[in-house]
Amino acid sequence: MDNRPIGVFDSGLGGLTAVRELRRLLPGEDIVYFGDTGRVPYGSRSKDAIIKYARQDVAFLTTFDLKAIVIACGTVSSTALELLQQENRCPIFGVVEPAAQAAAQASASGKIGLIGTEASIRSGAYERALERLRPGGTVTARACPLFVPLVENGRCRPGDAVVELVAAEYLTPLRQAGIDTLLMGCTHYPLLRDVVGAFFGPQVALIDVGAACIRQVKIYLAGQNLLSGRPNGGKGRYFVSDSVDGFARLASLFLGESLSEQVEQIDITAY
Ligand code: DGL
């Protein structure tokens, strides 16, 4: 039994979709969340910038006594996971491998679509994992740089002409490729599930990277006897690098419930 909190971070709010799953699957766990809202998005930045930011994010989180860290960000997971694991003693989990496993299992035909930020797609990390887990399959990948800003601005619901137009442009080549599974390789994308689901129809399985990762974290913690002793009532602490104004309102969209805990602003450049 281990009652220390789990650290979770993302470039912004998207990682809260992983927190939502964490609260659902492991309601007794305490959580420390950091969202780098002052520097979002990471997905259009260089590899060097993403590594620098990710190191600072982990340095901040490790000021807490954590039992594990979840990189609730496809961009950081695909760019810096191994490096962060080498540099830190605390176990660190990324979203790429668990999501690729879920996609490989879900796909009957092996025709898998992949969407993510520019940096995630450029890294090739998801494709390498899928190739290893589903040899001989076909991956059709597409960077979707407009999705994150649309989601962060709340433009993610069916009936919103702008997001539907952008989605159609990004996703049409994947539909033409005849995919049966779509790996949504960014933790912001679960908010687009209804738009994307309506575009493809029910015959395409949608894989949520944050949820896939949390399922794996649960298996790891249980296997190592590191689950908290509480069945319920885990607490959250939330930190951001930009103003806290409006955070709770937007955060509730990602969490699927209102955020009752305090949110604090920190200077991430100090780490
Ligand atoms: N949530 C991040 C991810 O999963 C994307 C946001 C960003 O570009 O910073 O990749």
For ligand 1, whether the C-beta of 75 sits within 6 Å is yes
Per residue in 187-246, pLDDT (tens digit) is 999 999 999 999 999 999 999 999 999 999 999 999 999 999 899 999 999 999 999 987
Residue of 221, 151, 233 whose CA lies nearest to 184: 151
Which of 146-178 are b and which e, b meaning 16 or more Cβ less than 10 Å from the residue's Cβ? bbbebbbeebbeeeeeebbebbeebbeebbeee
Atom 6, ligand 1: residue with shortest CA distance = 41
Q: How far is the CA of 68 from the centre of ligand 1 (A)?
A: 20
Quick one: pLDDT at residue 246?
Answer: 77
Residue 3: CB atoms within 10 A of its CB come to 14
For ligand 1, whether the C-beta of 10 sits within 6 Å is yes
Tokens of 176: 């033409």
Does residue 59 have a pLDDT over 80? yes
| Residue from 73, 95, 121, 126 to probe ligand 1 pocket by mutation (most atoms less than 8 Å from CB) | 73
Per residue in 140-189, pLDDT (tens digit) is 999 999 999 999 888 999 999 999 999 999 999 999 999 999 999 999 99
Tokens of 166: 């952008």
Half-sphere exposure of 256 (CA within 13 A, CB side): 11
Atom 8, ligand 1: residue with shortest CA distance = 43
Half-sphere exposure of 250 (CA within 13 A, CB side): 21
268 in Cβ contact with 38 (< 8 Å): yes
Place of tokens 């951001």: 240
Quick one: pLDDT at residue 262?
Answer: 83
Helix or strand (DSSP H, E) at 35: strand 31-35
**C-alpha angle 83/28/233, rounded to 5°?**
130
Q: Which atom of ligand 1 is nearest to the CA of 186?
A: 4
* Length of the chain as a residue count: 271
Give the C-alpha distances (Å, rounded to integers) separating 269 from 65, 96, 247, 266. 21, 27, 20, 9
For the annotated catalytic residues, the residue numbers are 73, 186
What's the pTM value of the predicted model, to 2 decimals?
0.96
For ligand 1, whether the C-beta of 56 sits within 6 Å is no
For ligand 1, whether the C-beta of 8 sits within 6 Å is no
For ligand 1, whether the C-beta of 210 sits within 6 Å is no
